[in-house]
Amino acid sequence: MSATVRNSLTGWFSRKQSADIAAAEQAALRSDRFRLEREADWRRLDSIVARIEAGRIGAISDDDLAALPVLYRTLVSSLAVARDTTLDAATLGWLEALAQRAWFAVHGPEAGFRGWFAQFFSGGWSAAVRALGVEIVIALAVMVAGTVIGWLLVAGNPDWYFAMMPAHDGDVRVPGASRAVLYGSLFGQSGQTGLSIFAAYLFSNNAQVSILCYALGFVFGIPPLLLLVQNTAMLGALLWLYHGQGLTIELIGWLAVHGTTELFAILLAGACGIHIGRAMAFPGNRATLVAAAEAGRRTATVMIGVVLMLIVAGLLEGFARQLIDATAPRLAVGLGILGFWLVYFFAYRPRKAAR
């Protein structure tokens, strides 16, 4: 073979090798760019799917839930491109596995009522309550202020008592009533009949207050604040009345049986209304109605629980409070129920929901 031919062949092989190296480098560059442009979305999708698989639906934000189907479709459309790039086999396998997991999260069968029921009580309700931490603190402060305001108003002018307390025929709980009369209104009711009707009335009244707190939250959260003040002002007035006759502890025991549940339910309803009002007053980058709708979905779980709490409170007020006719056991029951709610809402962390 002549030197000219050898030189030509050598040059051809050299150029081909250089072209192959350049092509490989270009492919690697495209692969890196492909990964960098999409990896954040892959990681976000993996995080959302992992929380769904762990049963932590309540820990997923509304934005992530809305983005889930979009992220899934983007991943599926990217897989075809990914197979043609120089992505390593492990990464490609991880993407394919993620696509399968995301499919079940997006298109998988729903849990049904039994699954929803189990998820609701095993962490969904308590997680939804904890998500309203700021609003709960605001509602609690307003309720304490309302109680103080009610006390101070009637202490300054007893006529305020009749303006705040609903009038009932034969109600002996009025300013000027003797200690014996007020004491009799707290004890000796174990033989009372018609307690079931009374419980139904109380449930209806408390449910109305809670639903109004929630439903009127769209007016920038102002009506829930006023409703909380109004209802707790009545409590302050009642405390003032019984305190004047040295029956403060007896009244607290009488209220504790049902009040720890009832007031907690009203507190949560007020917090839900405040949350919606805050979302509308400060929507951020979202449209006001969109922010309100998101807040409404976020608080719906809490309100389902509020209704259940009010049913329990109505039964306790209509039955247990009259059947337990001593202050000490009333306080024990009330504090025990309060402890249960506090542990369930703020300390209960199911293993499945905490991952």
Residue ranges per domain, the chain?
3-109, 117-354
In tens, the pLDDT along 101-131 reads: 887 777 655 555 566 677 788 888 998 999 8
- State residue 302's pLDDT score: 92
Query: What pLDDT, on the 0 to 100 scale, is given for residue 31?
Result: 57
Residue 338: closest CA among 264, 270, 232, 251: 264
For 105-122, give one letter per residue: b (16+ CB within 10 A) or e: beeeeeeeeeeeeebbee
- Distance (Å, rounded) from C-alpha 139 to C-alpha 133? 10
Rounded to whole angstroms, how far apart are CA atoms 351 and 355?
7
Quick one: pLDDT at residue 179? 92
pTM to 2 decimals? 0.65
pLDDT at 167: 66
Q: Give the range with max mean pLDDT: 15-19, 61-65, 193-197.
A: 61-65
CB 124 within 8 A of CB 57: yes
Q: Over the chain, what is the mean pLDDT?
A: 79
For the stretch 223-276, pLDDT in tens is: 899 999 988 998 999 999 999 999 999 999 988 998 899 999 999 999 999 999
Nearest one of 107, 108, 113, 131 to 56, comparing CA atoms: 131
120's tokens: 């609701």
Angle between helices 288-315 and 62-84 (to 10 degrees): 120
Contacts of 230 (CB under 8 A, 6+ apart): 146, 164
Place of tokens 């209704």: 307
Query: 136-179: per-residue pLDDT in tens?
Result: 999 999 999 999 999 999 999 999 998 888 766 667 888 988 99
Tens digit of pLDDT for each residue in 55-85? 677 678 877 877 888 888 887 777 766 666 6
Q: Is the pLDDT of residue 88 over 70?
A: no
pLDDT attached to residue 261: 93
Is residue 204 predicted with pLDDT exceeding 80? no
